[in-house]
Amino acid sequence: MSITDYWGLIFSDEEIKNIKCFENKERTHPLKKVMFPEDDIDKLVSVNTYSALKKIYYQDQIHWIKSLKNRLLDTDDFSHSSSALGEIRALGYLLETGIDANPVPIDKKGKPTPEFLCNYNSETLNIEVHSKQMDYEQAKLLFDFKKRRLQTNKPGSETIEIAPFGEPKKPEDSITLNAISRICGIKESEHQLISDNPQILWLDFQDEYWRIALDEKYLMPLCSFNGEFFSGFFWYAFYGWKGAPVFEGHTLEEKAPIKPYTMMHNGRFRQKTNLSAAILSFPNLTVIYENPFIDKILSNSFIERLCFLHWFANEYSNTRFFSFDLDLKIEMEKETLSKLRNKIVYIG
């Protein structure tokens, strides 16, 4: 069956016509973007979603996707459609690995539940899915910029800088610190992840704007360009520590106006958490961050299966399976960052 045929199992012909005509707000409607892609990156996410949809169909779980129909079609709050698409991709990706993954029914008494219960080799774990939304003000700024550029028909005549997690509000804050804090705080209460099973937080970043604003280099603890150092806010959000130096264009010569920023809180894995790991899903990358500080670890056999996830990128992942000593690796990276702070030269 074609992509349209699979969507036709969920939506009527009339509904599909209506989806194509959904009005844009601060962005294109997420379902419209997936079903009617406009460019190569759109098509990539469309294929990712289609592959997941196909796998779910052949696992006889299409009834679950039909239960998401109202959320997928929501035109008042685009985040509802976005989150439903993220859950579809997550379940399809998991099923593709050979893991037995099943949606958890909503508790009739209102008790919080995770999205999926997964089993492999007699091991059970819970997965909670979240599709992070871009800061509204920044999303609106980017949408207006794109609209203006189309109207002037001069694609290269204007540029724009975007802070996808929002502009800093405090003098001591920065764009990178803000990003670290926002990612670290996703599903912070973990009320849907309370059980004796290992827990995984799945973060979907395949929405329209994330594909423009994010770069895989920020999955590393440190990256550089033209002699300037930048902290990887994804890595810091999970492995960073209170007091960690945060670099934002700092160099080894007297160029930056201020000293490195300071992280004011621990990363997610250094806090009190039930998370055994986090999985970050991008259009062409899937990354596994394993928690080295928790006793409730994932087995090697489970991690091995997760390596079959669609677009798995080991070079950006941190797992015990591919590390001689994950704890030591993270602590060595911590030491490297601390040493760099002492070598940074700044004007102020």
Contacts of 272 (CB under 8 A, 6+ apart): none
Calpha distance 264→128 (Å, rounded): 26
Residue 122 has pLDDT above 80, yes or no: yes
What are the structure tokens assigned to 331, written together?
């602590």
Give me the DSSP letters along 99-134.
-EEEEPPPPTT-----SEEEEETTEEEEEEEEEPPP
The per-residue pLDDT for range 285-331, each reduced to its tens digit, is 999 999 999 999 999 999 999 999 999 999 999 999 999 899 999 99
Q: How distant is the alpha carbon of residue 185 from its chain centre? A: 13
Residue 177: what pLDDT? 95
Dihedral over Cα of 100, 101, 107, 110: its sign: positive
Check residue 3 and give its pLDDT: 63
Average pLDDT over residues 49-73: 94
Tokens of 50: 């289609």
CA-derived radius of gyration, the chain? 21
Q: pLDDT tens for residues 199-245? A: 999 999 998 767 666 789 999 999 999 889 999 999 999 999 999 99
> What DSSP state is assigned to residue 224?
E
- Per-residue pLDDT, averaged over 30-54, amounts to 92
Q: What is the pLDDT of residue 156?
A: 58
Query: How confident is the model over 249-292, as pLDDT tens digits?
Result: 888 887 767 889 999 999 999 999 999 999 999 999 999 999 99
Averaged confidence pLDDT in the chain: 89
Q: DSSP letters of 183-214? A: HHTTTTT-TT--SSS-EEEEEE--STTHHHH-
What are phi and psi for residue 139, nearest 5 degrees? Answer: -65, -40
- Whether 159 has a pLDDT exceeding 80, the answer reads no
Q: How far apart are CA 119 and CA 101, in angstroms?
A: 6
List of E strands, 24-122 = 100-103, 116-120
| CA angle 228–262–183, rounded 5-degree value | 90
Coil/strand/helix, residue 308: coil
